[in-house]
Amino acid sequence: MTLSEWEGEFLQSVGDRVKTHGRAFADPEKGARGQALSAMQGRKLKEIARKARGVKRAQASPPAADGDREGK
């Protein structure tokens, strides 16, 4: 699986910032104290890792029609 140019740049920049600063984000509101990645960076890294492994993202099921709900 080939990563996009953006994904490669993202991985490189996150890695560089963690090595240099100990974390990859500057705004303390975007991540927990002591964490190297913000919540969004962590989510994006998981998506890239799944893509690299060739795992497709699970699609959410569409909502049930009114007549299909339990209890009716």
pLDDT of residue 61: 59
CA-nearest of 14, 6, 7 to 52 is 7
Q: How remote is the C-alpha of 63 from its chain's centroid?
A: 24
pLDDT digit string, tens, across residues 4-28:
999 999 999 999 988 988 888 877 7
Q: Is the pTM of this model over 0.75?
A: no
**Position 72 confidence tier, pLDDT thresholds 50, 70, 90:** very low
**Position 56 confidence tier, pLDDT thresholds 50, 70, 90:** confident
Which two structure tokens, joined as six digits, stand for 12? 């490189």
Ordered by start, the domain boundaries in the chain are 5-53
